[in-house]
Amino acid sequence: DAPNMAQLAQTTQAALSGQSKTVTVTVMGEHEHVISGYSLLKGIGDGEPIASDRFTVGGHEWVLLFYPDGKRSISETQQAPPPNDDPYAALFVALIGEGPRPQGVVHSSSGRVVRAFHRFTLVDQTGTGNRDITKGRQRDQGAVKISCARQDPNARNCHGYRKFVRRSVLENPQHGYLVDDTIVIRYEIELVVTNGGALHRINKANPLMSIDVSSFPTLGDEVRKLLTDDADKTDCVFEVEGEKFPAHSLIMSARSSAFRAMLRTGAEMREGSEGVVRLSDIRSPVFKLLMHFIYSDELPDGSGRGPVTDNGYRASGPGRANAHSGALVSHGSGGRRAAGIGTEGESGAPSADGTNSTPPDLEGIDLDVAMTQHLLVAADRYDLTRLRAICESRLCDMVDVETAATTLALAEQNHAHALKRACLEYVATHLAEVMQTDGYKHMEQSCPQLASELLRTVAMHTTQQQQAAAAAAANGAPLALGGAGDVGFGAQLSPTNATNVLGGTQGLGGNGGHA
């Protein structure tokens, strides 16, 4: 029995010892960017890039940035260029987004980063290939770290060369880089990916064999088909400005408690008995977007789902356009209204990959600042809390000097608390500019109660500035307070002075009084 016990002990010890393994590999990708009309780009300005389309490698979105007039450092911009200077063209790659399964992400002391080897090539178009200009990181130099924190302005989310090629070399016709006013840039990347170990998720799937789940339709995609493919099976109708919208009472009731009350069987409201809901406090374009959200759980540009929707619609980028004249929410009896009627706002644009940002049945309706404001009002009125949150998020990203005051008033009137905080912070730090806008006058009249909250926010910022100044003085370092975009009151602004500034004929107090 003794030998058997010893053998059992050895077996048990071997079973408990275990084994682990980490495997580090590289995921390779490349992108070629052709720039035509090069001569028209000269003089675009230092630090102004020409961007490629987005491309994906390792579950991350990248973009190439070519600077025809260079990208000088801060120290270089403070010095005048020497006479007869032969400037450089710069070339960078930037990490601008990530998909649902990004690879190679490392949690370091500086945040989430990825490591990669990058190679940039200016192609010799004569076909010989022996004059290509290639710059990149060699294996023995180690991979470059790039930050995934796209919202942090101090994060290093790009890599490249300020002095990639001299313009005189690029433009020399004997070199073959500039042919028919066109240059070709080739980029290669090897993304470092580690699998296994306690600090890395084990990715058992081969990236080349993985299934893109996002390409398959969602529940919202299928439910929305009920409005088109099964329109004859609707059992109620919403009438807005004479336009009728067939719908399914089960879906409308499930999504909104307000609509559920209107459609409830046996209700005294005539909507319940006639099956027709007549709405007088919303305009037709807004209701179209509302219906789209109720059935698909997202806005037509993909808001609520992600950067790119399963339909191929991409969230719109900011641009300037006039607000859609017909996309206004009427002033209802409930006291809710859309602030800033007719204000110039931001509208969507076609995405970089050429997909349409709006489904065909919603063409002509811009999801700009004004429309998003009106949609927020409707979401609050009809108890669509998720839609209200989406609108809040969009408006937080759209806040600027012209729209800040009207959006603040809107947030106050429609229970948008996160949006209200964001607007208060923005107005407090850009007060001098915001006070000159028409929206500010509207805010004074419609929401005079905001005066005290804005005053507290300004005072809080002033206190923080004074504390920072005191700390800097204690360390012997001067600190410049105020500046472009700030309130502009400087270090001497006290809460009392802030009250005086906010009062008077231009303040929030109204009728010339203090706030």
**Burial (CB count within 10 angstroms: exposed 0-12, middle 13-18, buried 19+), residue 204:** exposed
More confidently predicted of 107 and 160? 160
pLDDT score recorded for residue 69: 92
More confidently predicted of 120 and 431? 120
Report for 78-87, 181-190, 428-437: range of highest mean pLDDT: 181-190
**Whether residue 153 has pLDDT greater than 70:** no
DSSP per-residue letters across 108-143: ETTEEEEEEEEEEEE--TTS--TT-EEEE--GGG-P
For 460, the token pair is 């809080």
Report for 1-5, 47-51, 318-322: range of highest mean pLDDT: 47-51
In the chain, what percentage of residues exceed pLDDT 70? 68
140-147, long-range: CB < 8 A, 24+ apart:
143/115, 143/116, 143/117, 143/190, 143/192, 144/115, 144/116, 144/117, 144/118, 145/108, 145/110, 145/113, 145/114, 145/115, 146/95, 146/113, 146/114, 146/115, 146/116, 147/95, 147/110, 147/111, 147/112, 147/113
**Could you give the residue range(s) of every CATH 2.60.210.10 domain in the chain?**
23-204
Q: Distance (Å, rounded) from C-alpha 296 to C-alpha 77?
A: 50
pLDDT score recorded for residue 451: 80
pLDDT score recorded for residue 330: 33
Structure confidence by residue, pLDDT tens digits, 193-214: 988 776 655 444 455 556 677 7
In 3D, which of 11, 316, 26 has the Cα closest to residue 195? 26
In 3D, which of 350, 290, 346, 362 has the Cα closest to residue 314? 350
Other beta carbons less than 10 A from residue 328's beta carbon = 21
Q: Are strands 133-136 and 144-147 parallel, antiparallel or unpaired?
A: unpaired
Question: What's 54's DSSP letter?
Answer: -
Lowest-pLDDT choice from 70-84, 201-215, 349-363, 419-433: 349-363
Contact 358, 303 (CB under 8 A): no
Q: Distance (Å, rounded) from C-alpha 392 to C-alpha 394?
A: 5
More confidently predicted of 316 and 280? 280
Q: Distance (Å, rounded) from C-alpha 362 to C-alpha 345?
A: 19
What integer is the mean pLDDT of 39-51? Answer: 91
Contact 97, 231 (CB under 8 A): no
What integer is the mean pLDDT of 396-418? Answer: 88
Give the SS3 label for residue 192. Answer: strand
Other beta carbons less than 10 A from residue 215's beta carbon = 8
Other beta carbons less than 10 A from residue 96's beta carbon = 15
Q: Distance (Å, rounded) from C-alpha 335 to C-alpha 321?
A: 28
CA 233 to chain centre: 38
- Residues in Cβ contact with 79 at an 8 Å cutoff, skipping those fewer than 6 apart: none
Instruction: Provide the mean pLDDT of the chain.
Output: 75
Secondary element (H or E) of residue 393: helix 385-398
pLDDT score recorded for residue 350: 38
- Residues in Cβ contact with 465 at an 8 Å cutoff, skipping those fewer than 6 apart: 481, 491, 493
Lowest-pLDDT choice from 223-237, 337-351, 368-382, 389-403: 337-351
Provide the pLDDT confidence category of residue 112 given band limits of 50, 70 and 90: confident
**Could you give the residue range(s) of every CATH 3.30.710.10 domain in the chain?**
223-398
In 3D, which of 288, 508, 289 has the Cα closest to residue 394? 289
More confidently predicted of 269 and 389? 389
Give me the amino acid identity at 256.
S
> Does the domain at residues 23-204 carry the CATH identifier 2.60.210.10?
yes
Give the ranges where 267-384 is alpha helix by DSSP (H).
Answer: 270-274, 284-296, 369-381
pLDDT score recorded for residue 369: 87
Provide the pLDDT confidence category of residue 495 given band limits of 50, 70 and 90: very low
Secondary element (H or E) of residue 93: strand 88-98
> Does the domain at residues 223-398 carry the CATH identifier 3.30.710.10?
yes
Strand partners, 108: 111
Structure confidence by residue, pLDDT tens digits, 221-263: 888 888 777 777 888 889 999 899 999 989 999 999 998 888 8
**Whether residue 434 has pLDDT greater than 60:** yes
Contact 335, 306 (CB under 8 A): no
Per-residue CA distances from 54 to 33, 63, 115 (Å)? 11, 5, 19
